Amino acid sequence: MDIARFDRKSEYEWHIRPFGNMRVPCVIFASESLLREMDAKVYEQVTNVAMLPGIVAASYAMPDAHWGYGFPIGGVAAFDAEAGGVVSAGGVGFDISCGVRTLHTGLRIEDVERVKVRLADALYHAIPAGMGSTGAIRLNATEMDAMLKGGARWAVEHGFGSEADLARIEEGGCMKGADPVQVSDQAKKRQRDEMGTLGSGNHYLEIQQVTDVYAPEIAAAFGVQQGDIVVSIHCGSRGLGHQIGTEFLKQMVIAAPGYGIGLPDRELACAPIESKLGKEYLGAMRAAINCALANRQILTHLTREVFAQVLPQARLPLLYDVSHNTCKVEEHQVDGRMKKLHVHRKGATRAFGPGHPDLPVALRDVGQPVLIGGSMGTASYILAGTEQGMQQAFGSACHGAGRAMSRHQALRNWNGRKVIDDLEGHGILIRSPSMRGVAEEAPGAYKDVSAVVDAADQAGLARKVARVRPLICIKG
């Protein structure tokens, strides 16, 4: 991207002044080199978002921003319902509440090394991964609605995990305002076989080791120490969320002119928050958030069952669970006043700073854990939300490495079997149903997650706490 198109506000903050139909400026957080590498489509998309009705303060892009659908992936935008603000199905995306959770294990590297192959095989056997895989849980219509209203809380009530897990999930594990009635029968049918499944693409379950601790006092509050073994799970709301995204995107595209909304890009399909369609979407989208939270909770339970067999001394309490693709009602300071806003994060992580009332007491002094997934063979990071981030971007941070090249290109560059053999040479075991899937997700197809995390840290969006490296990766 041509950096001459930006006003540089600081080392890591770049602005685009409003032009044309833009209602607010754009703010991109990135190092100069990350910005130069960003696709020019990010510029187009982040400025398109700035044209939407009721947008507050600015249209933001995180350091991992890349070409998405309507919104850039890594896009954040908040809307004021009282000012005619909108909710956008495109701004949330298809994989509603896709996110990451990290579990402690209490284990050290030598414990895992002894049983590594057995552990990898047992996890691969227990965790349904890839297209066409099915879960063991079938919900009837009543149970489906209860799950969509209850989220991870529903899962815990049905024996998947414990009450203690819930405090470590955004919204206490249960998104309020979910309305299962707004979820179509098709969406529910698409979920029928998919409870407790990982999905495919960039979704994974990893066994990881903490290699570096950068902020010892925060790491201590998170219960993270150098050398610790942790488990991270990356997945979303599965077929139900995809179907809700699909259906409401179409409805909003068709309805937009009736609301007097001129869409700069059809993928930005939206409706006023206060409209019937807007409210219906919010009810359905929140149900999909609960579906994602329940799904990650069930996968957590399956993981714990595997550890109980292979490494029975392990205990796997939840460190935290974050969601990436959401629209949430939050209070933020705007022009010196607290305001209720609908904050869209598309491929961006909520990153509440210290003292935020939504954080559990044990984490409140240090800020929210922000879990950043890297690519298969590289590293992931644990960060913490900051007060500065609350002021700069409505408490938001990056969400991952972001692709550096298309799947098409990756397939030309790598062979799945060879990627697996190479990673095994580096001590990383991959288990996946598809060699082609592995090639498309090759580590080299992603940007350097460290550069993204450093930019988020330097920009003040979130503070770097620890780095982890993968030991085992179950890939969909």
Figure out which of the listed residues 63, 196, 278, 437 binds other proteins, where binding follows CB under 8 A.
437
Number of neighbours of residue 424 by Cβ within 10 angstroms: 11
As beta bridge partners, residue 209 has: 229, 469
Angstrom distance (rounded) from CA 216 to CA 155: 33
Q: Which residues contact 282 (CB under 8 A, 6 or more apart)?
A: 87, 177, 179, 273, 327
CA-nearest of 472, 104, 127 to 299 is: 127
Instruction: Tell me: does residue 435 bind other proteins (CB under 8 A).
Output: yes
- CB 311, CB 107: distance < 8 Å: yes
Range 387-426, binding other proteins (CB under 8 A): 402-403, 405-409
Task: State the nearest-atom distance from the C-beta of 432 to other proteins, in Å.
Answer: 9
Identified binder of other proteins from the candidate list 93, 264, 353, 470, rule CB under 8 A: 93
Per-residue string for binding with other proteins, 163-192, x by CB under 8 A?
-----------------------x--xx-x
Q: Which of 53, 54, 85, 130 binds other proteins (CB under 8 A)?
A: 130
Taking the complex as a whole, how short is the minimal distance between the CB of residue 387 and other proteins, in angstroms?
A: 31
Residue 470 amino acid letter: P
| Of the residues 136, 141, 254, 362, which one makes contact with other proteins according to CB under 8 A | 254
Helices (H), ranges, 115-168: 116-126, 141-150, 152-157, 163-166
Q: Mark residues 203-242: x for contact with other proteins by CB under 8 A, - for none.
A: ------------------------------------x--x
119 vs 267: CA distance, rounded Å: 42
Nearer Cβ to other proteins, position 215 or 292? Answer: 292
- Kind of pairing between the strands at 55-69 and 26-29: parallel
Query: Which entry of 158, 242, 356, 399 is annotated as an active-site residue?
Result: 399
Q: Does 68 bind other proteins (CB under 8 A)?
A: yes
Of 448 and 457, the one with the shorter C-beta distance to other proteins is 448
200 vs 300, which CB is nearer to other proteins? Answer: 200
Output b/e per residue, 234-264; b: 16+ Cβ within 10 A. Answer: bbbbbbbbbbbbbbbbebbbebbeebebebb
Please tell me whether residue 109 adopts helix, strand or coil conformation: helix
CA distances from 364 to 167, 218, 352 (A): 12, 11, 9
Among 29, 43, 60, 94, binds other proteins (CB under 8 A): 94
Establish if 141 lies at the interface with other proteins (CB under 8 A): no
* Residue choice 200, 375, 380, 386 for contact with other proteins (CB under 8 A): 200
Minimal distance, residue 73 CB to other proteins, in Å = 6
Q: What residues from 353 to 382 belong to the interface with other proteins (CB under 8 A)?
A: none
Contacting residue, 13, 80, 145, 440, with other proteins by CB under 8 A: 440
Least Cα distance to 68 among 86, 45, 89 occurs for 45
- Residue 399 falls in the annotated catalytic set: yes
Choice between 134 and 333, CB closer to other proteins: 134
Token pair of 209 as six digits: 């080791």
Q: What angle do CA 280, 281, 282 make, to 5 degrees?
A: 90
User: Which residue numbers are catalytic?
Assistant: 399
Interface residues with other proteins (CB under 8 A) are 39, 41, 66-70, 73, 90, 93-95, 130-134, 186, 189-190, 192-193, 199-201, 239, 242-243, 245-246, 249-250, 253-254, 265-267, 269, 402-403, 405-409, 433-437, 440, 476
